[in-house]
Amino acid sequence: MKQDVFQARHEAEWTALERWLDLRARPPAKQRTHDAEGLFGDLDFPAAYRRVCQHLALAQRRGYSVLLIDRLQDLVHRGHLVLYRPHPPRWHAAIQFFAADFPRLVRRHWRSMGVAALLFFGSFVGVVVALQVRPELAHSLFEPAELAKFEAMYDPAQPEAKLGRESGSDVKMFGYYILNNVSIGFRTIAAGFFACIGSVYVLLFNGLFLGGIAGHLTAIGYGGPFWRFVAGHSAPELLAIVISGGAGLQLGMAMLAPGRRSRGRAFVEAGVDMAKLALGVFAMLVFAAFVEAFWSSIGWMPDPVKFSVGGLLWLLIGLWLWRGGRGAAHAA
Amino acid sequence: MTLVDTLTLVETPEGISLRLRAAGMMPRAAAWAIDFSLRLVVIWFVSLALAVLGDLGVAIYLIVLFGLFWAYPVLFEVLMDGQTPGKRAVGLRVVNANGTPVGWVPSIVRNLMRTVDMLPICYGFGLVAGFVDAHSRRFGDMVADTLVVHVDHHHGYSSAPNVPAVQSPLLLPAAEQGAIVAFAERTKQLTPERQQELANLLPQLTQARGAVAVQRLLGMASSFLGRH
């Protein structure tokens, strides 16, 4: 078949598809009374697209002109982007993700999570214990000015003051915690890319830093206000740090030990899990920021309430990560 | 031998090949610079508007800052056909390595990995990776399995001028017929002088020079296209 005959025969289909692609975006599909101005229905699009794909293959095989092939290529490319577009986010999928998929994913990477927990809680507890035995070690961890700042924040002699901050209202601190803590969580995850080094560093650094503050304040007798402040948000925040560290470690393992896959393939597979873990970490840290800003800072709350709420959160989040998604019909 | 070319052919389930032209680091940096300035402008206006709200304003400002840094690229890439405003301005698009539009997970991965690509300063690792990689991928693109490609601008199709068919004096192979048809289809974009200059390159075929040669070539294109 000569090019002109071919073109004359199919021109109508091509212009219809072109127009349909132009019109697809406006007005939005939901408000449309009929599909794309009566060209053809949305349901007919895949068939129309596949026919044009076939025309392109024919045109290439028969050596038709470059411009015609370019035009069909362009049409096919636009159709391809529409046909294979990602579906819009669904509430059901989001609930399913947080209720089941995320805890399952954390358990599936239990080795990385275990190592991350060991690095973080190990260094944390180690420093706390060390500072009880030899309090002067605090001066090799922190500058004197830093120590003075921490002491001012948790001074038991000022019971009226807001707990755990120098200044700033609850809502302002909420914004600050979102920006600061979630960014740290995300960076911890990505930092594992180079052979886990970044994630290990962040885990150890945070373990030593937070353990140093906790140990020092406890050693000098300021432990009361401090533990009262951190009890509430400690569970979501610390566990989120551990999970982001674990996510970074599993990403780094794709470089260190890709197993029977190529490194590129291993990275792509680790990347999918990394993104999902990052979403979970994001949710946990937003929750932690909320608790930290609006609950932990309340000074007058009696100790039993503070500590039982903190304990309850540890229990609930622990249960969620341990049992969430067990026995569901399909695996993650 | 591998061809030094950024063109990637991706076979689709429909049995055809999509042509993806990976974008180099220069246009990508330009797109990034546009996005960056856009975000600066937004944050500046937001800070002006929220100054009256006191602490609540500061909180909103910080959350907007967070959103502009982490969510801005992901939301635009997934919801606006793989294009942030900067990429749209430069004519770039993020797609999966198989040519399909980028989804939530790959977009989150490639934007989380900016943390690594930014190191040590000014996207140093990302630039080096992009210069080494055949498809100009930074680390984020490698882990997410995505490509940044040029958007093909559709120039509008012009068919060959409809002139009476002229039989070619020589029997031409398909590729050479294709070249003559391509010449005919492009005449509208060429000045008459340039048309004649090109037609003059084929004296054996046209057996003429100047405007006559152009007309003969157009006639041959008509005959190759199957017109009478």
Taking the Cβ of residue A172 and every Cβ of chain B, the question of whether any pair is shorter than 8 Å is answered with yes
| Distance (Å) from the alpha carbon of B95 to chain A's nearest alpha carbon | 9
- Residues A171-181: pLDDT tens digits? 888 888 888 88
Residue pair B154/A74 in contact by the 8 Å Cβ criterion: yes
Q: Quick one: pLDDT at residue A159? A: 58
Q: Using the structure block, give the residue that is written with the tokens 């054996």.
A: B204
Residues 145-204 on B with a CB inside 8 Å of A are 145, 152, 154, 157-160, 174-175, 177-178, 181-182, 185-186
Q: Tell me the pLDDT of chain A averaged across its residues.
A: 85
- As a whole number of angstroms, the distance between CA A182 and CA A186 comes to 6
- The structural domains of chain B, with segments of one domain joined by +, span 7-150, 174-225
- As a whole number of angstroms, the distance between CA A130 and CA B4 comes to 60
Q: Using the structure block, give the residue that is written with the tokens 């432990």.
A: A223
> Taking CB atoms and an 8 Å cut-off, how many pairs form between chains A and B?
160
Which residues in chain B are closer than 8 Å to A268, comparing Cβ atoms?
Answer: 142-145
Which residues in chain B are closer than 8 Å to A3, comparing Cβ atoms?
Answer: 181, 224-226
Q: Percent of chain A, pLDDT > 70? A: 91
Tokens of A251: 């990403």
Residues 108-137 on B with a CB inside 8 Å of A are 108-109, 112-116
Tokens of B115: 């943390």
Which residues in chain A are closer than 8 Å to B58, comparing Cβ atoms?
Answer: 172, 175
Q: State whether B182 and A67 contact (CB < 8 Å).
A: yes
Task: Find the mean pLDDT for residues B30-58.
Answer: 89
B-chain residue closest to A76, CA distance: B18
CB atoms within 10 A of CB B142: 22
Is 80 exceeded by the pLDDT of residue A37? no
Q: State whether B154 and A71 contact (CB < 8 Å).
A: yes
Is 50 exceeded by the pLDDT of residue B1? no
Is 80 exceeded by the pLDDT of residue A162? no
B-chain residue closest to A275, CA distance: B109
Taking the Cβ of residue A171 and every Cβ of chain B, the question of whether any pair is shorter than 8 Å is answered with yes
Q: Quick one: pLDDT at residue A27? A: 55
- As a whole number of angstroms, the distance between CA B145 and CA A266 comes to 11
Residues 262-291 on A with a CB inside 8 Å of B are 264, 267-268, 270-272, 274-276, 278-279
Task: Find the mean pLDDT for residues B105-122.
Answer: 89
- Residues B179-190: pLDDT tens digits? 888 888 888 888
* Helix, strand, or coil (residue B92): strand
Which residue in the set B145, B154, B178 is minimally distant from A74, CB to CB? B154
Sign of CA dihedral A57, A62, A66, A72: negative
Q: State whether B108 and A278 contact (CB < 8 Å).
A: yes
| Distance (Å) from the alpha carbon of B134 to chain A's nearest alpha carbon | 14
Is 90 exceeded by the pLDDT of residue B156? no
Tokens of A112: 């990385």
- Residues A95-112: pLDDT tens digits? 988 988 999 999 999 999
Residues 217-246 on A with a CB inside 8 Å of B are none
* Burial tier of A133 (Cβ tally within 10 Å: 0-12, 13-18, 19+): exposed
Q: Quick one: pLDDT at residue A277? A: 94
Which residue in the set A4, A54, A86 is minimally distant from B225, CB to CB? A4
Bigger pLDDT: A161 vs A287: A287
Tokens of B108: 């989150």
Sign of CA dihedral A309, A315, A320, A321: positive
Q: State whether A275 and B105 contact (CB < 8 Å).
A: yes
Q: State whether A178 and B99 contact (CB < 8 Å).
A: no
Q: State whether B116 and A274 contact (CB < 8 Å).
A: no
Q: Quick one: pLDDT at residue A332? A: 43
Which residues in chain B are closer than 8 Å to A57, comparing Cβ atoms?
Answer: 15-16
Q: State whether B115 and A186 contact (CB < 8 Å).
A: yes
| Distance (Å) from the alpha carbon of B185 to chain A's nearest alpha carbon | 7
- As a whole number of angstroms, the distance between CA A317 and CA A122 comes to 20
A-chain residue closest to B104, CA distance: A86
Q: What is the DSSP letter of B155?
A: -
What is this structure's pTM?
Answer: 0.83
Taking the Cβ of residue A52 and every Cβ of chain B, the question of whether any pair is shorter than 8 Å is answered with no
Q: What's the distance, Cα to Cα, between the start and end of chain A in Å?
A: 52
Q: State whether A186 and B70 contact (CB < 8 Å).
A: yes
Q: Which of A152-166, A209-223, B56-70, B140-154 has the lowest mean pLDDT?
A: A152-166
Which residues in chain A are closer than 8 Å to B16, comparing Cβ atoms?
Answer: 53, 56-57, 76
- Residues B125-137: pLDDT tens digits? 888 888 888 888 9
- Residues A186-239: pLDDT tens digits? 999 999 888 889 999 999 999 999 999 999 988 888 888 888 888 888 899 999
Is 70 exceeded by the pLDDT of residue A261? yes
Which residues in chain A are closer than 8 Å to B154, comparing Cβ atoms?
Answer: 71, 74
Is 60 exceeded by the pLDDT of residue B49? yes
Is 90 exceeded by the pLDDT of residue A292? no
Q: Which of A77, A52, A2, A8 is nearest to B178 (CA)?
A: A2
Q: State whether B55 and A168 contact (CB < 8 Å).
A: yes
Residue A30: which residues within 8 A CB-CB, separation 6 or more?
Answer: none
Give start and end residues of each alpha helix (H) in chain A. 3-23, 45-61, 66-83, 91-96, 102-108, 110-133, 138-141, 144-153, 170-177, 183-190, 197-219, 223-256, 263-291, 303-323
B-chain residue closest to A82, CA distance: B101
Is 80 exceeded by the pLDDT of residue A30? no
Is 60 exceeded by the pLDDT of residue B215? yes
